[in-house]
Structure 1
Amino acid sequence: MSANATRANAMPAGGFPTSKVLWSVVGWLVVFVFFFPVLWMWLEALKTEPQAASSPPTVFFVPTLLEFQEVMSGDFPPFFINSAIASVGSTLLVLVLGLPAAYALAIRPVKRTQDVLFFFISTRFLPFAASLVPLYLLARDLHLLDNIIALTLIYTTINLPLGVWLLRSFLLEIPHDLFEAAQVDGASFLTELVRIVVPLIAPGIAATSLICLIFSWNEFFYAVNFTSSVAATAPVFLVGFISGRGLFYAKLAAAATLASLPVLLAGWIAQKQLIRGLTMGAVK
């Protein structure tokens, strides 16, 4: 009788446990806290400049796309295109260079494999500021300053260690018997990559690509130091709204919204592949 009473107290009239309802509320509150800055940015982008700069903030307003039109009619498109070229180009290079390297480290390891892995990941420990001067002098001597090719190569070197590390972890989940059977049938290295590796770790490749794409798209430090106008990217463009004349909140919000759309869309389209890729090997 007492057990039934305890169970009845824990279950509200709707039939859901009280603790589950509370955890759901807490979870939605956490989501709202993290999502609120993005929501506020979107709302600011739909205001006029006086409304966005008003204090206290304007809560009720008539939405307008005027700031989006001004941003798109200005200099934003070339910066956007530069970001797309550098991000997509570096991501493709990471996959082209990282997949064979990850294959060698995971499927055909040698005596110094662990040392190579440590070297790859240790390059991520180097502060960006420490490599700025050598890379800047090298780009200057090669006449690659303010050049989208230099930025693409820099982003590739930044993301390649992480890409190799992630791809190797995915490759370790493939049974070695598949590779042995393919080698018995006379399959070449390229055949193994195309017919075995790529289909089996496609979610992992998608997850690695999206992570590298996000890192490249959001990178600011090298972009602001290696470019001036021709090869400048979207993050550099956004800083231009902060000037001595003040901060243009509405235009900045509109430009930031446009700059964030590709990454948001890519994440939304590849969300299933991303979740599958990041959870590969989590369950044996």
Structure 2
Amino acid sequence: MTAVSTPRPARRPRGSARGAALTAATWAIALLFVSPVLWLVLTAFKEENQAATDPPTLFFQPTLDRFTAVLGADFLPYAGNSLIATVASTVLVLVLGLPAAYALSVAPVKRTQDVLFFFISTKMLPVVAVVVPIYVAASWLSMLDNVWTLVVLYTAMNLPIAVWMLRSFFLEVPGAIVEAARVEGAGLPRILWSVMLPVMAPGIAATALICTIFAWNEFFFAVNLTAAQAATVPVFLTGFITSEGLFVAQLSAAAVMASLPIVVVGWTAQRQLVRGLSMGAVK
């Protein structure tokens, strides 16, 4: 008579346990980094007397009064100035950066590396070192407190980074495509517009998004060169820090409203952003 052997329960692979631990650790780190943003959003829905309590108020009745107060404090004109400065400077960066990046990638000059270093070296100078001559020049040209002054400065600020990024994207375009277009008789404008730009569209989107973020969040030039007519959203946020105290809840609501456009744009373009930043990473 033969004994019937009972099957042993399958052992859980050791790799799956490590994967679960790694996933839990990743979520913990992600929540740690996101927690200030979550706390900012929660504070925006509190009353002012609940925003700075010790210990913090965790349970409260949400209210939209702080957002209403921010809108009543003329938030929209500041947002309009930020929108004009951001969109106009980003468009100018792409218009100027695409031909420069194309020339430095497809038809490089003799000392291309020196040119690229010159571009990026402008980012090594502290902004505070140039604000006085810029202020004097803007005053002489009667361009103080003018949103188009910010457009010019934001364009100059983002152009070096854009040229470096766009050049790397141009280098990823297969040379055979360009040669085939030349054989077919396409000129330089046609090659750039109809052949190369569609291929590197994710890279252009990634460059535009990064320039948009930098321009929207820029504070130093805006606070020193604007007053009442051309002030941007970052300058508007400083209005809640007064001699009477810090209005934490209202400042949080204003910060949420100021961040929302960039978050929406980034969320909408996240696929293009990931594709653009990963161009050439996998061969």
Coarse TM-score class (shorter-chain normalised): over 0.9
Partner of 1:168: 167
Taking the aligned partners of 2:183 and 2:134, their CA distance within structure 1 comes to 46
| Counterpart Cα distance in 1 of 2:149 and 2:69 | 30
Unaligned ranges ≥5, structure 2:
1-7
Pairing 1:172-211 to 2, within 5 Å after superposition: 172-211=171-210
**Match in the other structure for 1:77:** 76
2-side partners of 1:210 and 1:138: how far apart? 30
- For 2:229 and 2:185, the matched residues in 1 are separated by 49
Matched with 1:104 is: 103
- The separation in 1 between residues aligned to 2:145 and 2:200, in whole angstroms, is 36
Give the Å deviation of 1:183.
2.3
Match of 1:136 in 2: 135
Please say if 1:280 is aligned against 2:279: yes
Q: In the alignment, what sits opposite 1:212?
A: 211
Residue 8 of structure 1 deviates from its aligned partner by 3.2
In 2, Cα distance between the equivalents of 1:187 and 1:242? 59
Task: Look up the SS of the partner of 1:280 in the other structure.
Answer: coil
In 2: Cα distance, 1:27 partner to 1:237 partner = 36
Match of 2:3 in 1: none
Question: 1:214 aligns to what SS in structure 2?
Answer: helix
Distance in 2 (alpha carbons) for counterparts of 1:140 and 1:181: 52
Hey, what does 2:37 align to over in structure 1? 38
Which range moved further: 187-196 or 37-46?
187-196
* Aligned-CA RMSD value: 1.4
Give the corresponding residue for 1:8: 11
Could you say which residue in structure 2 is the equivalent of 1:66?
65
Give, in whole Å, the separation in 1 of the partners of 2:41 and 2:12: 43
1:260 paired residue number: 259
Percentage identity across aligned positions?
Answer: 55
C-alpha separation between the residues in 2 aligned to 1:189 and 1:238? 46
- Aligned-partner Cα distance in 2 for 1:148–1:185: 45
User: Which one has a bigger Cα radius of gyration?
Assistant: 2
Question: In structure 2, how many angstroms separate the alpha carbons of the residues matched to 1:9 and 1:191?
Answer: 59
Q: Which stretches in structure 1 are left out of the alignment for 5+ residues?
A: none
Q: Using the alignment, how far apart are the partners of 1:251 and 1:161 within structure 2?
A: 36
Give distance in 2, aligned partners of 1:271 and 1:182: 31
Alpha-carbon offset, residue 9 of structure 1: 6.2
Displacement, 1:115? 1.2
**Local SS of the residue matching 1:222:** helix
More displaced 10-residue stretch of structure 1: 183-192 or 25-34 = 183-192
Secondary structure of the 2:123 match is helix
d(CA) in 2 for partners of 1:8, 1:127 = 60
**Cα distance in 2 for residues equivalent to 1:9 and 1:180:** 55
The residue number in structure 2 matching 1:86 is 85
- CA offset at residue 146 of structure 1? 0.5
Q: Which runs of 4+ in 1 moved over 2 A?
A: 7-11, 183-186
Shift of the alpha carbon at 1:181?
Answer: 2.3
Secondary structure of the corresponding residue to residue 11 of structure 2: helix
**Mean Cα deviation higher: 259-268 or 47-56:** 47-56
Structure 1 counterpart of 2:66, one-letter code: E
- Residue 155 of structure 1 is matched in structure 2 by 154
1:120 matched residue in structure 2? 119
Q: 1:9 to 1:186 in 2, by over 3 A?
A: closer
1:216-231 equivalences in 2 (<5 Å): 216-231=215-230
Q: TM-score, normalised by structure 2?
A: 0.94
- Partners of 1:86 and 1:38 lie apart in 2 by 25
- d(CA) in 2 for partners of 1:77, 1:113: 44
Distance 1:186 1:101 in 2: 23
